[in-house]
Amino acid sequence: MAITENQIIIKDVKNFDLAQTLDCGQAFRWKMCDDGSWSGIAHGKKIRILKKDNDIIIIGTDQQEFETVWKKYFDLERDYGKIIESVGCNETLKAAALFGNGIRILKQEPWEALCSFIISQNNNIPRIKGIIERLCENFGDRKDDYYTFPTYERLAACTAEDLAPIRSGFRAKYIIDAAQKVANKSIDLNQLEKVGYSQAQSQLMTIKGVGPKVADCALLYGLGYIEAFPSDVWIKRALNEFFDGKIPDCAKPFGGIVQQYIFYYIRETSKK
DNA sequence: TCCCAGGCTCTCT
DNA sequence: AGAGAGCATGGG
């Protein structure tokens, strides 16, 4: 790894395609810039990231922050090549994994993941992005030219009418219920990372508007449960069409990653 | 215009 | 326990 004043370079990173990872529907605050780099906000910080050959360059950070924040966020210590190899038990699965071989599962902040996927229900990705942008602009903290993701404390103090400007529809009351349950400690998100998948899922489902799918998204993208397998309309269609309704056994230990390969594969190949 | 979207709640069998 | 309507909003 090479370091200069305001950026770091990570040499020879495998299985990391920025577009595949940042625009595959797992996170909603990344934008591609005119020069092909990507700009995003996470953990209250804004960075730009780009790829040059097989090197990853992160602008707007330093080594200390990289070690404590971005290394984990971008899941850089996981060997995705090995996972892709081990799902060879099924030809369609293998094809999907190879097609999306640059996807990494981002380890997002638990509250942001939970809140974002509450917003995602019965919704489409462009509109999810818009709602989240308005949520941040209205209730996040301003930091020079951007807004952080709102805290649950801030949203716990809101009414559904207060959230009207973000135009989230019927989801507003769900956001508030989630924020209140986290704020008043009836749900401890940090604790959920340690209690095991099933326990964590059922606790999340005590929130109004959180069912198995939204819970699985929070578990996978926010709480580090790589075995969580969010099953939305796209995945259900794909499972029925290609996999007899359920994922092959060889994929189960890292179902969430495989789920993302399938999601990306069917959506990209169905584009006109 | 119309259909549908990274679903869930509520009600009625 | 299983099926189906309704939900807010707006992208394509």
| pLDDT tens-digit series, residues A182-232 | 999 999 999 999 999 999 999 999 999 999 999 999 999 999 999 999 999
Give yes or no for a contact between A15 and A104, defined as CB atoms under 8 angstroms apart.
yes
| Chain C positions with any atom < 7 A from a protein CB | 7-12
Q: How far apart are CA A180 and CA A162, in angstroms?
A: 15
Nucleotide nearest to A215 in CA–C1' terms? B7
For A88-146, the pLDDT digits (tens) are 999 999 999 999 999 999 999 999 999 999 999 999 999 999 999 999 999 999 999 99
SS3 A160: coil
Please give the Cα distance from A148 to A43 (Å, whole number). Answer: 8
Q: Cβ distance A61 to A8 under 8 Å?
A: yes
d(CA A74, CA A70) in angstroms, rounded, equals 6
In whole angstroms, give the CA distance from residue A90 to residue A101: 16
**How many Å does it take to go from CA A7 to C1' B4?**
43
Per-residue tokens: A148 = 């952080």
Helix (H, G, I), strand (E, B) or coil at A47: strand
Chain center to CA of A101: 17
Mean pLDDT of all residues belonging to chain A: 96
Instruction: Please report, rounded to whole angstroms, the spatial distance between the CA atom of protein residue A44 and the C1' atom of nucleotide C5.
Output: 41
What does the pLDDT read at residue A1?
65
- pLDDT of A272 strictly over 90: no
Tokens standing for residue A31 = 């934008």
Catalytic residue among A185, A213, A236, A252: A213
Across all strands, nucleotide nearest A234 (CA–C1') = B6
- A231 CA → C7 C1’, Å: 21
Q: Which is nearest to A16 in space by CA: A139, A105, A83?
A: A105
Distance in angstroms: CA A66, C1' B3 = 45
Q: Which residue is nearest to nucleotide B7 (CA to C1')?
A: A121
Please give the helix or strand (H or E) that residue A32 lies within, else none.
strand A30-32
Share of residues in chain A with pLDDT > 70 (%):
98
Q: For strand C, is any atom closer than 7 Å to the CB of A130?
A: yes
pLDDT at residue A3, as a whole number: 66
- Inter-residue contact A125 to A22 (CB < 8 Å): no
Beta bridge partners of A57: A9, A50
Q: Quick one: pLDDT at residue A270?
A: 86
Catalytic site includes residue A194? no
**Backbone angles phi and psi of A97, in degrees to 5:** -65, -40
Tell me which residue of A212, A222, A228 sits closest to A121, measured CA to CA: A212
Distance in Å, residue A123 CA to nucleotide C11 C1': 10
What one-letter code names the amino acid at A66?
F
Is strand C in 7 Å reach of the CB of A127? Answer: yes
Tokens found for residue A75: 């899941």
Residues with CB under 7 A from strand B: A 24-26, 117, 120-125, 127-128, 170, 205, 208-215, 217, 230-235, 259-260, 263
| Residue range A63-84: mean pLDDT, rounded | 98
Q: Look up the pTM and report it.
A: 0.97
